[in-house]
Amino acid sequence: MNYPAFYDAVARITLYDALAELLGAADHGRIEYGYVDAVKLAGHSCPTVAGAYLMTLKALHRLYPDTLPERGGVRVEFGASQSDGVTGVIAAVIGLLTGAAGEGGFKGLAGRFSRQHLLSFSAGHVGDLRFTRLDSGARVTVAYHPEVVPASPAQQRLISNILTGTADEMERAEFGRLWQMRVQRILIDHFDDPALVVCRDDP
């Protein structure tokens, strides 16, 4: 798979997965994900996929400041319904990275390693997104503001031409370049921008 080089420059996420260790799937249970893994899951790269990746990374770093995050050890709650906007896309990426799953998730072995019911929607009191450690109960809320990194003004004209079938090959290529440039700015240039991803403790 050929993809933009900046994907490999995005901070990676390393977790400990006790189930993977038990089943011999990963040495010492260590699993590492990069942005390209989220792209492969979604089938595309966009500000939504980038935001889901960043929100997860920031939340896990805050919940596990001194140790590897535990995959399967975090509950994720969305304030929105699964069908609302891009919530489903975000949830798919977060589920990949954290192991959190809904009704159809892995039920566990002898009461351990369950991933079922760790991903929920329409949580009511939850604002944007909440991550909760199952072992300690520590939790953080996360909000993503992609408008902090605006799209190029040329993108609207180019996408209009593409969708109406009037764009030529150069216009299509330019649209893709500008689109990924914005994703790069989100993931690389604004990685530490506190206005882009707001992550705070939720007592």
- CA-CA distance, 46 to 181, in Å (whole number)? 10
Q: Whole-model pTM?
A: 0.95
Residue 100, token pair as written in the block: 């959190």
Are residues 72 and 19 in contact, defined by beta-carbon separation less than 8 angstroms? yes
Q: Where are the beta strands (DSSP E) in 19-157?
A: 30-33, 74-78, 119-120, 129-133, 139-144
**Please, which pLDDT band fits residue 126 given cuts at 50, 70 and 90?**
low
- Whole-number pLDDT of residue 111: 84
- CA-CA distance, 14 to 28, in Å (whole number)? 12
pLDDT tens column, 166-201: 999 999 999 999 999 999 999 999 999 999 999 999
For residue 132, the cross-strand partners are 75, 139
pLDDT tens column, 55-105: 999 999 999 999 999 999 999 999 999 999 999 999 999 999 999 999 999
Task: List the domains of the chain with CATH numbers.
Answer: 7-146+192-201 (3.30.1330)
